[in-house]
Amino acid sequence: IKINSIPTKPFEGQKTGTSGLRKKVKVFMQENYLANWIQALFNSLPPEDYKNGLLVLGGDGRYFNLEAAQIIIKIAAGNGVGKILVGKEGILSTPAVSAVIRKHKANGGFIMSASHNPGGPEYDWGIKFNYSSGQPAPESITDKIYGNTLSISEIKIADVPDVDLSKVGVTKFGSFSVEVIDPVSDYLELLETVFDFQLIKGLLSRPDFRFIFDAMHAVTGAYAKPIFVDKLGASLDSIFNGIPLEDFGHGHPDPNLTYAKDLVNILYAENGPDFGAASDGDGDRNMILGRSFFVTPSDSVAVIAANTEAIPYFKNGVKGLARSMPTNGALDRVAEKLNLPFFEVPTGWKFFGNLMDAGNLSVCGEESFGTGSDHIREKDGIWAVLAWLSIIAHRNKDKKPGEKLISVSDVVKEHWATYGRNFFSRYDYEECESEGANKMIEYLRDIISKSKAGDKYGSYVLQFADDFTYTDPVDGSVVSKQGVRFVFTDGSRIIYRLSGTGSAGATVRVYIEQFEPDVSKHDVDAQIALKPLIDLAISVSKLKDFTGREQPTVIT
């Protein structure tokens, strides 16, 4: 094949955030903007990582993905990649990309998604690169890519026609080939080895159990019917917003109490379904709801970790548990009780991969609706739904028709009674002015540098305050400034971070947590239980002064 060399000039700001490079789609549509980043990536990888190698490509179906896919294919060919596996219509969820990389022993893969950010001509686009075990590229690579974007002068692009992505099959161009694959089959095949599908099918076909899944017009729309309906016997009308759309039906594909309000209303309506779930743009997040009951993601991972007997994948035991730093400590208590190794990592799934590869980690999660295990190296929304369905099915497997089933809320309340409840809430102040948000973090850093154990904050006594630093126990790499935290002597915590996934301005996240061992207080609403600590978090940081915001945009 003929390879053309195209001269180019650097663009500013092509720096990868928490999870890939995310910008407004208009930014990405500038000539050579995406091409520069892809070329910079190849310039950053050692040749043995891609020359004549195999890469995977897919995305969440958002606006610009189909054009982007053609650009990526041509630059990959221009740089000597041997073969690319592409999801049909450019579709592959983030967990599916991870699964496909692992199954086909690929060198890596691209995910075209800005995840939970909205899509369409006015909104966001994004690109992530995952490595050979299916995990998001480590910072050592993404920093190198950024460095190369600042000095790039040439793009190598193969002179080949666009590939038809609408049909499964192989297209060859000399020594380079593209194979369009079914987006579901490899991923589903893996899930069938993880879960007892017959057990789940038994639950989903009970007349006294009603299930609903909201795909939010995002990528899990392509997976929901083949998995929940065709394989597991759920009724077709249990899939809500099940068609992937380029703009997610004008929605914001983030499965939380604000952006998945329609689903929440269904579950909280009188005589609503027994189980509800939703997933985000690229299928790696999940929200779990019972009838009139919301499962906090931090509780969700703890409950899954405490109930692994319901999941065949864990029959030989659980190697270890981990959570991101702002995620609440419910999982810590499970690890302690079950005597399992436990890890606290910075925000972002890329920090779990090394622990999994080293055989130290089986189940992990983030408060941001991310839950997963070492079956792949990404968080996995459908996995979490199947894990919860397995737990409910396992608890009810001997229940006769007409007998009252153990519900989602029963399982969570029982968990709280055993382990205590970690009340938790996150306040997001989206798209603030960057300057004020940065100043607030600087101000907090100044406070922690002067703080000492024993300092009084209202009725709370400080144990320590710091800006979280993490040393990877496997490769020794160190990351710092991962979130300002105030930890009090009763275990309560206040944490402040700036988001690394936005495409405009700065999003301030405030995380609030307080432990309550007393069962008689577990039914209190989290916003009420946490009120004094939330007020403290807002006053200590002078958040209203720095951001000009009276109220958060999203509360979870």
Dump the DSSP string for 162-205: PP-TTS-EEEEETTEEEEEE-TTHHHHHHHHHHS-HHHHHHHHT
Q: Which of 274, 280, 299, 380 binds ligand VG1 (CB under 6 A)?
A: 280
Beta carbon of residue 188, minimum distance to ligand VG1 (angstroms, whole number): 21
Running DSSP on this structure, what letter comes out for residue 405?
A: P
Q: Which of 79, 115, 300, 373 binds ligand VG1 (CB under 6 A)?
A: 115
Does position 275 bind ligand VG1 by CB under 6 A?
no
State the sign of the Cα–Cα–Cα–Cα dihedral 226, 232, 235, 241: negative
Q: Which of 280, 332, 366, 380 binds Co ion (CB under 5 A)?
A: 280
Distance, C-alpha 22 to centroid of its chain: 15
Which residues 6+ apart lie within 8 Å of 450 measured at CB?
none
Beta carbon of residue 285, minimum distance to ligand VG1 (angstroms, whole number): 5
Nearest to 37 by CA among 130, 132, 98, 126: 126
Beta carbon of residue 9, minimum distance to ligand VG1 (angstroms, whole number): 29
Beta carbon of residue 93, minimum distance to Co ion (angstroms, whole number): 9
Nearest residue (CB) to ligand VG1, 406 versus 554: 554
Candidates 189-197, 222-230, 280-288, 353-361 — which segment interacts with ligand VG1 by CB under 6 A? Answer: 280-288
Does position 380 bind Co ion by CB under 5 A?
no
**146/301 Cα distance (integer angstroms):** 33
Nearest to 483 by CA among 494, 472, 467: 467
Nearest to 302 by CA among 387, 377, 400: 387
Burial of 476 per CB tally in 10 Å (0-12, 13-18, 19+): exposed
Which does residue 299 touch among ligand VG1, Co ion, none (CB within 5 to 8 A, set by kind)?
none
**61/88 Cα distance (integer angstroms):** 10
CB 129 within 8 A of CB 20: yes
CA atoms within 13 A on the CB side of 188: 17
Judge whether 368 counts as a catalytic residue: no
Does position 347 bind ligand VG1 by CB under 6 A?
yes
Q: Give the residues across from 180 on adjacent strands.
A: 86, 169
Which does residue 501 touch among Co ion, ligand VG1, none (CB within 5 to 8 A, set by kind)?
ligand VG1
Does position 282 bind Co ion by CB under 5 A?
yes
Q: Which of 349, 388, 457, 515 binds ligand VG1 (CB under 6 A)?
A: 349
Does position 116 bind ligand VG1 by CB under 6 A?
yes
Beta carbon of residue 510, minimum distance to ligand VG1 (angstroms, whole number): 11
Beta carbon of residue 449, minimum distance to Co ion (angstroms, whole number): 35
Q: Restricting to residues 350-379, which ones interact with ligand VG1 according to CB under 6 A?
A: 366, 368, 370
Nearest residue (CB) to ligand VG1, 238 versus 501: 501
- Burial of 74-103, coded b for 16+ CB within 10 Å and e otherwise, reads bbbbbbbbbbbbbbbbbbbbbbbbbbbbbb
Residue 287 corresponds to which tokens in the numbers above? Answer: 């929200």
Nearest residue (CB) to ligand VG1, 18 versus 308: 18
| Nearest position to ligand VG1, beta carbon | 115
Q: Restricting to residues 101-140, which ones interact with Co ion according to CB under 5 A?
A: 115
Largest distance between two CA atoms of the chain: 72
Of the candidates 19, 93, 113, 115, the residue annotated as catalytic is: 115
Which does residue 274 touch among Co ion, ligand VG1, none (CB within 5 to 8 A, set by kind)?
none
**155/79 Cα distance (integer angstroms):** 9
Q: Are strands 342-345 and 321-324 parallel, antiparallel or unpaired?
A: parallel
Nearest residue (CB) to ligand VG1, 284 versus 374: 284
Nearest to 374 by CA among 296, 315, 284, 313: 313
Burial of 68 per CB tally in 10 Å (0-12, 13-18, 19+): buried
Q: Restricting to residues 449-508, which ones interact with ligand VG1 according to CB under 6 A?
A: 499-501
Does position 272 bind ligand VG1 by CB under 6 A?
no
E strand residue ranges, 19-113: 21-24, 54-59, 83-91, 108-112
AA letter at 543:
L
Which does residue 500 touch among Co ion, ligand VG1, none (CB within 5 to 8 A, set by kind)?
ligand VG1
Nearest to 140 by CA among 228, 16, 259, 237: 16
Candidates 43-51, 283-291, 422-430, 497-505 — which segment interacts with Co ion by CB under 5 A? Answer: 283-291
Does position 324 bind Co ion by CB under 5 A?
no
Beta carbon of residue 379, minimum distance to Co ion (angstroms, whole number): 7
Candidates 156-164, 174-182, 213-221, 277-285 — which segment interacts with Co ion by CB under 5 A? Answer: 277-285
Nearest residue (CB) to ligand VG1, 280 versus 299: 280
Beta carbon of residue 256, minimum distance to ligand VG1 (angstroms, whole number): 11
Residue 180 corresponds to which tokens in the numbers above? Answer: 């369009």
Residue 442 corresponds to which tokens in the numbers above? Answer: 């600087």
Beta carbon of residue 207, minimum distance to ligand VG1 (angstroms, whole number): 35
Provide the mask over 282-301, with x wherever binding to ligand VG1 is found by CB under 6 A and - wherever it is not. --xx----------------
Known catalytic residues are 115
Enumerate binding residues for Co ion (CB under 5 A). Answer: 115, 280, 282, 284-285
Which residues are near ligand VG1 by CB under 6 A?
18-19, 115-116, 280, 284-285, 324, 347-349, 366, 368, 370, 499-501, 509
